[in-house]
């Protein structure tokens, strides 16, 4: 279900070609620089408390690579039982935290009779060119969703909620339920934040990462409770699927790319991690180097999950 357009054997250059066929993703001349600030040559939203990651071409490339990595692990773009209706058409899909927009663009090409709306606080999606059945909008989900009740048949949320302060979760889940049609499906894909067999360097980096998140009100393990949140909001037919992936050589090409992805994330937060943990840059770089060495020795691995559930059908009183 939800097969990708191109083969997962595509090399990086081929992936970039497929990616850019959809438009100038993240490379938009219409972006207003007044909304951003520049730190060490990278572009960020001015309000970095709302979104800490960069918003530039380099980050778009990382998100692109991460999207293909996730597809290699799952071999699909979704797990919810919606493929039949997507093919029939007329389905309205909301992609929350769409990033570069690649998931929406792939889905729009696979299911041309359905419509896809991608939203993100950081405009890295294509503003100028994209298929007619896709729309992209800048939305801060911590402030609610600008859509009427019962608007969407399927809502997709990938690697978003684990980056948001816990105080916003009640509103977010309430809004997701509100805009979903009766009988519609909500699916959440994210990382399980319990690492498996991390080495000493990985543990040190990850502990600093957790402490940084905690300082910003983010519960690092709140993602493990998403199924309970779905049930509390009234969702039914709630399911959980998990994928365990080894880092490094034992995980093959996926394992090697996973190491690169995590290393890239650590470097993105290097400045904040150094300030928070009182490490110097030399110690940080040594930890990264040791982290790479330890991966194979400890056979470290990580887990991805997909929670998905259905909004109950409306009950009519006779």
Residue 234 is assigned to a structural domain of this protein: yes
Residue 300 belongs to a domain with what CATH number? 3.40.50.150
Residue 318 is assigned to a structural domain of this protein: no
Distance of alpha carbon 101 from alpha carbon 19, whole angstroms: 10
- In percent, how much of the chain has pLDDT > 70? 87
Residue 41, C-beta contacts closer than 8 angstroms, at least 6 positions apart: none
The C-alpha angle 225, 231, 232, rounded to 5 degrees, equals 85
Task: Give the end-to-end CA distance of the chain in Å, rounded to a whole number.
Answer: 38
Residue 243 is assigned to a structural domain of this protein: yes
Count of domains in the chain?
1
What's the pTM value of the predicted model, to 2 decimals? 0.87
Residue 16 is assigned to a structural domain of this protein: yes
Residue 44 is assigned to a structural domain of this protein: yes
Determine which of 22-26, 30-34, 54-58, 161-165 has the lowest per-residue pLDDT on average. Answer: 22-26
Residue 173 is assigned to a structural domain of this protein: yes
β-pairing, 301-310 vs 180-196, is antiparallel
Question: Residue 129 — very low, low, confident or very high, per pLDDT cuts 50/70/90?
Answer: low
Residue 268 is assigned to a structural domain of this protein: yes
pLDDT digits (tens, 9 = 90+) for 199-242: 999 999 988 888 888 888 888 778 788 888 899 889 999 999 99
Residue 136 has pLDDT above 90, yes or no: yes
Residue 3 is assigned to a structural domain of this protein: no
What is each CA distance from 110 to 1, 59, 68, 119, 260, in whole angstroms? Answer: 11, 25, 16, 19, 29
Would you say the C-alpha torsion 227, 138, 265, 46 has a positive or negative sign?
negative
pLDDT digits (tens, 9 = 90+) for 73-90: 999 999 999 999 999 999
Domain boundaries, position 17: 12-310
């Amino acid at each position: 279900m939800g097969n990708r357009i191109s083969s997962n054997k595509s090399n990086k250059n081929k992936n970039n070609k497929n990616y850019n066929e959809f438009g100038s993703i993240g490379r938009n001349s219409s972006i207003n620089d007044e909304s951003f600030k520049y730190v060490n040559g990278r572009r960020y939203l001015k309000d970095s408390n709302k979104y800490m990651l960069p918003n530039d071409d380099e980050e778009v490339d990382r998100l692109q690579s991460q999207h293909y990595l996730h597809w290699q692990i799952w071999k699909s773009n979704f797990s919810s039982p919606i493929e039949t209706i997507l093919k029939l058409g007329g389905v309205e899909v909301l992609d929350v935290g769409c990033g570069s927009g690649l998931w929406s663009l792939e889905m729009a090409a696979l299911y041309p009779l359905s419509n896809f709306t991608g939203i993100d606080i950081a405009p890295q999606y294509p503003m100028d060119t994209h298929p007619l059945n896709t729309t992209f909008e800048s939305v801060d989900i911590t402030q609610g969703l600008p859509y009427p009740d019962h608007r969407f048949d399927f809502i997709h949320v990938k690697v978003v909620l684990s980056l948001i302060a816990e105080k916003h979760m009640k509103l977010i889940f309430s809004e997701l339920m509100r805009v979903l049609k009766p009988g519609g499906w909500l699916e959440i894909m994210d990382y399980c934040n319990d690492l498996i067999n991390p080495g000493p360097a990985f543990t040190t980096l990850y502990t600093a990462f957790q402490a940084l998140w905690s300082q910003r009100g983010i519960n690092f393990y709140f993602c493990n409770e998403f199924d309970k949140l779905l049930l509390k909001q009234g969702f039914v037919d709630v399911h959980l699927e998990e994928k365990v992936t080894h880092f490094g050589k034992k995980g093959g090409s996926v394992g090697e790319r996973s190491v690169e992805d995590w290393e890239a994330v650590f470097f993105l937060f290097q400045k904040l991690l150094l300030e928070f943990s009182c490490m110097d840059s030399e110690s940080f770089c040594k930890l990264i180097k040791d982290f790479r060495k330890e991966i194979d020795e400890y056979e470290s691995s990580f887990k991805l999950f997909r929670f998905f559930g259905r909004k109950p059908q409306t009950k009519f009183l006779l």
